[in-house]
């Protein structure tokens, strides 16, 4: 697989709760890549404030600005599996960085996202009277953007994070041509 991937970064995109953080870590282990999560780096850059605190004190625009900076910095490196936050796709500028690598969309139905996030209080955008409707609305706004990924893996409730990671790995050779070596000519 590393022969095929040749150090190209993997960027996981998709909705909150899709499993980007969980599956990204597994992919890094399996590929011998380093793992980074943009949200964790944003929290570090904000002096250890949580995502909730950053949204509450600085606001979403300030969060998006740090998110773009973190993504730009990561994209200077190779051999990384990068789990992004669900809203990374919103800024056009971020796409120039995402396209440094292979973009993987974890596509998960809203009902399943809801079950996974029902007890979660770490997503400021879901502090809403009707979180399911909010997720539906966000997906509506973002679906076309997520669909620009190189690889789409659709995951239902039957797939474990390990199985989702395996699906991603299966898809990689379909979108990357193996290197043509001198011996092949």
Ligand X SMILES: Nc1ncnc2c1ncn2[C@@H]1O[C@H](COP(=O)(O)OP(=O)(O)O)[C@@H](O)[C@H]1O
Ligand Y SMILES: O=C(O)C1=C[C@@H](OP(=O)(O)O)[C@@H](O)[C@H](O)C1
Between CA 132 and CA 118 the distance in angstroms is 9
Q: Which is nearer to ligand X, 29 or 160 (CB)?
A: 160
Long-range CB contacts (< 8 A, 24+ apart) of 23-28?
A: 23/83, 23/106, 23/161, 23/164, 23/165, 23/168, 24/81, 24/82, 24/83, 25/81, 25/83, 26/161, 26/162, 26/165, 27/81, 27/165, 27/168, 27/169, 28/80, 28/81
Residue 34 interaction partner, one of ligand X, Mg ion, ligand Y, none, beta carbon < 5-8 Å per kind: none
Nearer to ligand X, 134 or 176 (CB): 134
In the complex, minimum distance from the CB of residue 18 to Mg ion, in angstroms, rounded to a whole number = 8
- What is the rounded CA–CA span in Å between residue 73 and residue 66? 11
Contact positions vs ligand X (CB under 6 A): 14, 16-22, 83, 116, 155, 159-161, 164
Q: Which does 160 bind (CB under 5 to 8 A by kind): ligand X, Mg ion, ligand Y, none?
A: ligand X
Tell whether residue 21 is a contact of Mg ion (CB under 5 A). Answer: yes
Binding positions for ligand Y, rule: CB under 6 A: 16, 20-21, 39, 51, 85-87, 123-125
CB of 97 to ligand Y, least distance (A): 15
Residues within the annotated binding site for Mg(2+)?
21
């Amino acid at each position: 697989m590393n022969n095929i991937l040749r150090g190209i970064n993997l960027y996981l995109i998709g909705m909150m709760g899709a499993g980007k953080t969980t599956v990204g870590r597994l992919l890094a282990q399996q590929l011998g890549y380093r793992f980074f999560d943009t949200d964790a780096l944003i929290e570090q850059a904000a002096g250890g404030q949580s995502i909730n605190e950053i949204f509450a004190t600085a606001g979403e625009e300030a969060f998006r600005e740090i998110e773009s900076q973190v993504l730009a910095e990561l994209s200077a490196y190779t051999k990384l599996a990068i789990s992004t936050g669900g809203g990374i796709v919103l800024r056009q500028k971020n796409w120039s960085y995402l396209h440094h690598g292979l973009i993987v969309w974890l596509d998960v139905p809203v009902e399943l996202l809801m079950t996974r996030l029902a007890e979660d209080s770490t997503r400021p955008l879901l502090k809403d009277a009707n979180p399911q409707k909010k997720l539906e609305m966000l997906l509506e706004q973002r679906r076309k953007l997520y669909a620009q990924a190189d690889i789409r893996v659709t995951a239902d409730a039957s797939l474990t994070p390990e199985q989702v990671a395996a699906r991603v790995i299966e898809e990689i050779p379909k979108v990357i041509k193996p290197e043509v070596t001198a011996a092949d000519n």
